[in-house]
Amino acid sequence: MFKFDFASSTGSADHAGDSENDKKAEADRMIAKMAERARMSANSCKLLNTSSASTDKVKSCVPERVDLHSSSIDGLHYYFLPQHTELSEKNTDLIPGVYEGGLKVWECSLDLCRFLAHIMDESTVSDCQNVTEAVRRSIGNGGSAFELGCGHGLPACLLLRESVRRHTDSVVVFSDFNDFVLRDVTIPNALLNVVCSLYSQQDNDSVVDDASQVLLRQSIFAGGDWMGLSRKLSQNEVLLPASQSEKRVVHERFDVILASETTYTTESCQDTAYLMSEHLKVDIGVGLVATKRFYFGVGGGADAFSQAADKVSESQSPGLRLVVKTIQSYDTGNANIRDLLEVRLVKSNQ
């Protein structure tokens, strides 16, 4: 004789509901911890003063060059600094909680630079309409961009340089865990690339001083925990250095947020997704995450970031969610596959 259990379907539905509630509760706990971290680290977030940056390196050192594989967008320049006095360990890419790899030019950063150059080349047609519009808006008047864990900051340097070349007033925020990386690598790189742009326009001895003024008017260099910077942005506490009297506040939401190799652990994936949710412009802002598909042994990578974005969305403001899609992949056949992800913060009904 067959026995029918009509309660089983109801039990399954209840179990599914409990599972969704558990996921939501876990996401809420994660976001609460991040919010507390932001509150606790806000005071330790340092905004570096670029006016005191030495220009001697720009005038005397021979930099490295990055070919962007573009016929209309010039290559980038950077200073190679293999070792630093702040580091006690030699030949290391990462010391968790101490040094986050900013002295190295990571390959995903170069992928992102070349993609941006392609997008900004107005003679090319891109299939990524949302990305194209956001990137071009970010280098126009009133535009804004934010690079997470920037290290050398080459993608953000490219956007800043192209803004200068177009004579616009867009703002670029560079952030890195280590102050010394910003001071000794990122700021000199930004200054160098702006100098190169100005030389092509005016070719005189004042370009280094003019480039320094550009950095004061159009850029922020923030050291420390991203969460502290996030808190400062949300509280309207980030002012452009050259506008202290005018109180030109950097708005908390950006046209473009850039991230290269910031997804190497599960926790860093969650941090990156959280910053995207807090600081992308709704519907029109675009995040670009350049990542390896897998970071073996540490849990990060493209899939881990997508899962983190879903988890953050579980606790997002009502009606908003992060949407992630792969827009480019790089496979040399003999190394870890690299992916470029597009991230958008959209209304849930889209």
Q: Each residue of 51-75: pLDDT tens digit?
A: 655 555 555 566 889 999 998 899 9
Could you please report the per-residue DSSP string of 276-288?
A: HHHHBPTTT-EEE
Residue 94 has pLDDT above 80, yes or no: no
Question: Contact at 8 Å (CB) between 147 and 135?
Answer: no
Q: What is the DSSP string of 95-112?
A: BTTTB-STTS--HHHHHH
Element (H, E) at 198: helix 187-202
Task: Please state the rounded mean pLDDT for residues 10-17.
Answer: 56
What sign does the dihedral 32-33-37-38 (CA atoms) show? negative
pTM: 0.88
* pLDDT at position 146: 98
Residue located via tokens 């991040």: 34
Report whether 276 contacts 310 (CB < 8 A): no
Q: How many CA atoms lie within 13 A of 302 on its CB side?
A: 21
Residue 350 pLDDT level (bands cut at 50, 70, 90)? low
Can you tell me the mean pLDDT for 203-228?
85
In this prediction, residues 308-329 reach a mean pLDDT of: 91
pLDDT band at 10 (very low <50, low <70, confident <90, very high): low
**Per-residue pLDDT tens over the stretch 326-349:** 999 999 888 899 999 999 999 877
User: Angle between the 302-314 and 7-41 helix axes, to the nearest 10 degrees?
Assistant: 100
Average pLDDT of span 279-299: 94
CA–CA distance, 337 with 331 (Å, rounded to integer): 5
- In this prediction, residue 236 carries a pLDDT of 93
